[in-house]
Amino acid sequence: MRKWTLVVLLFSVCCYSKQLYIITTTEDLRSIAKFIGREKVKVESLSYGWQDPHMVQPLPSMVAKLAKADMIVKVGLDLDVWVDSLILSSKNKNIIYGAVGYIDASVGILRLEVPTGKVDASMGDIHVYGNPHYWLDPENGKIIAKNIFSGLCRISPSDGGFFEKNYDEFVVQLTEKIEEWRKKFKKYEGKNFISYHKTFSYFAKRFNINIVATIEPKPGIPPSASYIKKLIDVVNEEKPVCILHENFYPLRVSKMVATQTGKKIVILPTSVGGVPEVKDYFSLFEYIITKIVQACNGNN
Amino acid sequence: MKKIFVLLSMIVIFIFYPLKIFAEQQFTEEKMEQMTPLPGLRSAVSNLPDISVIGDFYYRLTNDKNDAENGILIIRSIETAFQGYIYPDIRGDVFLELHKHGETIEPEICEAKVNFQKLFHNLSLEVGKVRVNFGKVNRIHQHHRNFYDQPQVISSFFGRHGLVAEGANFSYLLPLPIFFQVDLGIWNIPKGHQHHHGEGQEEFSLVDKTYTNKIWLSLPIKNSELEVGINYLFSHGPHYSEHKDEVQICGLDLTHRSFFTRNRSALFTAEIFKLIRHLEEKTIERFGYFVFANFRFDKYHTVGARYDNVENVEDGIRGYSASLVFSKNLTETTCLRAQYTYTFENPKDTHQFVLQLIFGIGPHSHLLE
């Protein structure tokens, strides 16, 4: 009996392959990386889905995680610059800029709102490489997945077939879902909306809606009284369906505009984990679209 | 009357900023062909480092008749930073500062350091003139701190500029599941840059050979994080050549950060130091601490309170102060701040009200602080 136990133990040890440890800067990237890596990876996000991704505080505990990581997946486009100093502090050569374990998920994305000409703070908190909220276009989810898949194949080539199968499955599922979401949202194509920040630009382009104004006058700049007055005029003129409010921004001004114009506010997460119901990349869009549709139908 | 007018003007700017006077930016669509360059690699095409400027101005009103800065707009410092890579895994950071030194504005190398990010295993080395990683606040540049002034214990034990030294610091990140880093520094603090409080009253500062050690660990607890730093320093006092005064400072720093939804977060920081100074004829011990609590109630606004308690190194007289701080953060490097400080002093307590403006132009970054 003892011999058999020993044989089983040895066999288990031989079969055991170490999980790859992947760190992502956001929950959305974590969700996609987990889909592709499945049981062969352990994925952790450095930020929570309910946090403003522009405002994540670098913490020493993140350094400890990065020090052990086989791969880092970043949003890029300057959204998560806070992670760069942490990568340096982690002294992990596998994940430094240019290493095989350094994945910038934005490579290959068609960037929107790329500023032309000189960029400075007079334009607000503009990202010089363009609007970084690209994961809110589900088609971009495929590019993100491709970047993660390529990275996983580089750090663990022997599992390439496994990752490829999962990547293909992700693309198929997402393609089906996008079609479904399009149908669900078709009624609102060409309609006007306003949002707090320029978070929904990619989402709007994909689902063919117009973000006609933002509560912020310029990215990252809080609205002044005179701007709110102008905004109310814009709302009355453009007649947006509702106000899309990212759930980490202050609600006061959105409420004020809604009260004065009779528009509804739809409070939305912008990332996986932004609300408890949104557990993965698919349910993020499911939630956003359902909430907007419900609000527009008067059910919210 | 003039002071009140200036103060009211600043309050009006404080409340109603920002004004919208700029034209709309033009945008285009473009495919991302490469990875987003890191800070320090932004100007790769022209081989320039990241260049930034940080300005720090304040306006102070106080009932202290001896305060020469009362009712005057003070340009405390203009910091210019040059940051970039000089070799793979080797980063250079130079911070040059023009700062107020009595009546004049003088140039100074605030920091100039080369960071060898990976010597071997998890060991890194920082060489140059640096703000020493001792305690929590000392390493942080003034414009990044949550209050306009330096905590009294740091000014009293390390001098008005804090503990800034020339030398080398080795950091070793232990391969543990939690963040656990050990720092060992060998420094020289040149004599010569000293401030005087008044006639014959020289500010205490450390000089010559200095050795520092910090054990820094961090424990994540659900949506919060607790950082603990244990610090030890051995150095010489300002009169070492005459009195052979040796100084030891040990300290403990605690920082707890909690994160909530809607950009809300809370910060609690406390630092406690004990200074032991061995003179030829006696040994003196001094003790000081500060506690600071800060709450960010939305993306832009924070409110905080600080309490300072420290014994003066030279005469042992204990000083206390309490401050209330309100900050409006326009961007990561630009901030408007109002701070009220009540200082318990004999024979008369002082009230101080400060409006501060910190502004940043260009890409500016610091390693984990």
Angle at B98 between CA B92 and CA B102, to 5 degrees: 140
A217 CA: distance to closest CA in chain B (Å)? 8
Residue B312: closest CA among B198, B232, B164: B198
Spatial distance between the Cα atoms of A205 and A114, rounded to a whole number of angstroms: 15
Of the two residues A224 and B101, the one the predictor is more confident about is A224
Kindly report whether the peptide bond that precedes residue B18 is cis, defined as omega within 30 degrees of 0: yes
Q: B325 and B316 in contact (C-beta within 8 Å)?
A: no
Mean per-residue pLDDT, A123-132 = 84
- Beta-carbon contacts of A101 under 8 Å, excluding residues fewer than 6 positions away, are A69, A70, A71, A72, A94, A95, A151, A154, A155
pLDDT value at position B100? 79
Residue type, B172: Y
Set of chain B residues whose Cβ sits within 8 Å of the Cβ of A96 = 89
Confidence of residue B22 (pLDDT cuts 50, 70, 90): very low
Whether residue B337 is predicted with pLDDT greater than 90 in this model: the reply is yes
Confidence of residue B42 (pLDDT cuts 50, 70, 90): low
Q: Which residues between 152 and 191 in chain A have a beta carbon less than 8 angstroms from any beta carbon of chain B?
A: none
Phi then psi dihedrals of residue B151, to 5 deg:
-55, 140
For residue B20, count other CB atoms closer than 10 A to its CB: 13
Q: Does B262 contact A247 at a Cβ distance shorter than 8 Å?
A: yes
Mean per-residue pLDDT, A163-179 = 96
Output b/e per residue, A38-52; b: 16+ Cβ within 10 A. eebbbbebbbbbbbb
Set of chain A residues whose Cβ sits within 8 Å of the Cβ of B257 = 57, 59
Residue type, B326: F
Set of chain B residues whose Cβ sits within 8 Å of the Cβ of A121 = 331, 334, 361
What percent of chain B shows pLDDT beyond 70?
86
Q: What is the pTM of this model?
A: 0.82
pLDDT value at position B19? 43
Mean pLDDT of chain B: 86
Q: Does B29 contact A110 at a Cβ distance shorter than 8 Å?
A: yes
Mean per-residue pLDDT, A278-294 = 94
Phi then psi dihedrals of residue A49, to 5 deg:
-65, -20
pLDDT value at position B14? 56
Of the two residues B96 and B29, the one the predictor is more confident about is B96
Whether residue B198 is predicted with pLDDT greater than 60 in this model: the reply is no
Mean per-residue pLDDT, B132-136 = 95
Q: Does A97 contact B176 at a Cβ distance shorter than 8 Å?
A: no
Spatial distance between the Cα atoms of A36 and A45, rounded to a whole number of angstroms: 15
Phi then psi dihedrals of residue B9, to 5 deg:
-60, -45
Residue B229: closest CA among B166, B180, B301: B180
A298 CA: distance to closest CA in chain B (Å)? 26
Mean per-residue pLDDT, A157-181 = 96
Q: B174 and B180 in contact (C-beta within 8 Å)?
A: yes
Q: Does B262 contact A250 at a Cβ distance shorter than 8 Å?
A: yes
Whether residue B5 is predicted with pLDDT greater than 90 in this model: the reply is no
pLDDT value at position B199? 46
Whether residue A269 is predicted with pLDDT greater than 70 in this model: the reply is yes
Q: Which of A92-96, B229-233, B307-311 has the weakest average pLDDT?
A: A92-96
Q: A218 and B24 in contact (C-beta within 8 Å)?
A: no
Mean per-residue pLDDT, B345-361 = 88
Q: Of B26, B30, B299, which is closest to A130 when you measure between CB atoms?
A: B30
What percent of chain A shows pLDDT beyond 70?
93
A141 CA: distance to closest CA in chain B (Å)? 15
pLDDT value at position A86? 92
Indicate whether this complex's ipTM tops 0.90: no
Q: Of A57, A88, A224, which is closest to B367 when you measure between CB atoms?
A: A88
Set of chain B residues whose Cβ sits within 8 Å of the Cβ of A109 = 31-32
pLDDT value at position B32? 78
What confidence tens digit (pLDDT) does each residue in B43-102 have?
Answer: 555 667 888 999 999 999 999 888 888 999 999 899 999 998 888 888 899 999 998 777
Whether residue A184 is predicted with pLDDT greater than 60 in this model: the reply is yes
Whether residue A8 is predicted with pLDDT greater than 80 in this model: the reply is no
Q: Of A55, A59, A218, which is closest to B225 when you measure between CB atoms?
A: A59
Set of chain A residues whose Cβ sits within 8 Å of the Cβ of B91 = 88
pLDDT value at position A4? 60
pLDDT value at position B23? 47
A92 CA: distance to closest CA in chain B (Å)? 8
Comparing alpha-carbon positions, the chain B residue that sits nearest to A85 is: B367
Residue B182: closest CA among B159, B140, B229, B215: B215
Q: Strand, helix or coil at B294?
A: strand
The one-character DSSP state at A131 is -
Spatial distance between the Cα atoms of B272 and A127, rounded to a whole number of angstroms: 41
Spatial distance between the Cα atoms of B326 and B238, rounded to a whole number of angstroms: 37
Whether residue B8 is predicted with pLDDT greater than 70 in this model: the reply is no
Q: Does A129 contact B31 at a Cβ distance shorter than 8 Å?
A: no
- The answer to whether A286 contacts chain B (CB < 8 Å) is no
Mean pLDDT of chain A: 90
Mean per-residue pLDDT, B30-42 = 73
Q: B365 and B39 in contact (C-beta within 8 Å)?
A: yes
